Amino acid sequence: MSQYQAVLFDLDGTLVDTAPDLGFALNTLLQEEGYAPLPDEQIRPVASNGSAGLLGLGFGITADDANFKPLQQRFIRLYQDNIARETAVFPGMLDVLHFIEDSNITWGIVTNKPAFLTDHLVKLLGLDERASCVVSGDTTSHAKPHPAPMLHACDLISIAPEHCLYIGDAARDIEAGKNANMTTIAARYGYITEGDDPETWQADAYISHPHDLLAWF
């Protein structure tokens, strides 16, 4: 770890398992609109794709659809009201964070989740005082896979990107990390759809469980 001074995490599907509460919001909305709820195994792989991905899954619509905006607003309100109902850090991740902190290594979060949701969730989970930086999808003028959020995180923690690890569960995460000249690790345990092939992301390393990070370190 001597070459790395910071470890940065994606939030949904990497650091925190948010799928249960995103699924609860989607299924509540589906039932309000007269549709049957979807099983967890159908929702989980799409959980990293935000409201657009989840509404596309549940209602078969895109952002161009006339019903999209009102459904999105209702979905976000439902999610916001239930954001930490079942959400928790992934099993084993607290051990990883303790190891990082005990090693005097900085850690932070870079996510595409909007700040009003990110900040609320991070605080409820008690991570706000532990993370050295929290960069959300609307913190900079670009979201991942653009390198701007990654470089902004580096500015906040005063550590050069080449001394940072970035861990994520989506192609955009690995692309963003590589675009910023960081070492990248792909989390296979995250929200990965059937059509995804993490091997094509060309991450520097792959893990199947948060504890794999300890062995990798």
In a 13 Å sphere around the CA of 215, the CA atoms on its Cβ side amount to: 9
In whole angstroms, what is the distance from residue 144 CA to residue 161 CA?
A: 15
Cα maximum dimension of the chain: 56
Query: Could you read off the pLDDT of 119-145 as tens digits, one per residue?
Result: 999 999 999 999 999 999 999 999 999
Chain-centroid distance of CA 160 in Å reads 22
Can you give the pTM of this predicted structure? 0.96
Under 8 Å between Cβ of 75 and 29: yes
By CB atoms closer than 10 A (0-12, 13-18, 19+), residue 189 is: middle
CA distance 48 to 10: 10
2: pLDDT strictly greater than 90: no
Tens of pLDDT, residue by residue over 167-191, are 999 999 999 999 999 999 999 999 9
| pLDDT tens, residue by residue, 13-70 | 999 999 999 999 999 999 999 999 999 999 999 998 999 999 999 999 999 999 999 9
Q: Which residues pair with 29 in a beta bridge?
A: none
**Is residue 1 over pLDDT 80?**
no
What is the Cα 81 distance to its own chain's centre?
A: 19
Element (DSSP H or E) covering residue 165: strand 164-168
pLDDT of residue 215: 86
pLDDT, position 217: 81
Fold of 19-81: DNA polymerase; domain 1 (1.10.150)
Average pLDDT over residues 189-204: 94
CA distance 162 to 35: 48
Q: Is 17 annotated as catalytic?
A: no
Instruction: Give me the pLDDT at residue 108, please.
Output: 98
Q: Is residue 106 within 8 Å of residue 131, measured between CB atoms?
A: no
Beta bridge partners of 183: 165
Beta bridge partners of 108: 8
Question: Which CATH entry fits the domain spanning 6-17+87-216: 3.40.50.1950, 3.30.360.10, 3.40.190.10, 3.40.50.1000?
Answer: 3.40.50.1000
| Segment 195-210 mean pLDDT | 96
CA–CA distance, 159 with 176 (Å, rounded to integer): 17
- Three-state SS for 129? coil
Examine the residue annotation and report whether 40 is marked as an active-site residue of this protein: no
Per-residue pLDDT at 194: 86
Residue 84 has pLDDT above 80, yes or no: yes
Q: Where are the domains of the chain?
A: 6-17+87-216, 19-81
The two structure tokens encoding residue 151: 């470089």
Q: pLDDT tier at 195 (50, 70, 90 boundaries)?
A: confident
Q: In what order do the strands lie in the sheet with 183-187?
A: 134-135, 106-110, 6-9, 164-168, 183-187, 205-207
Amino acid at 201: W
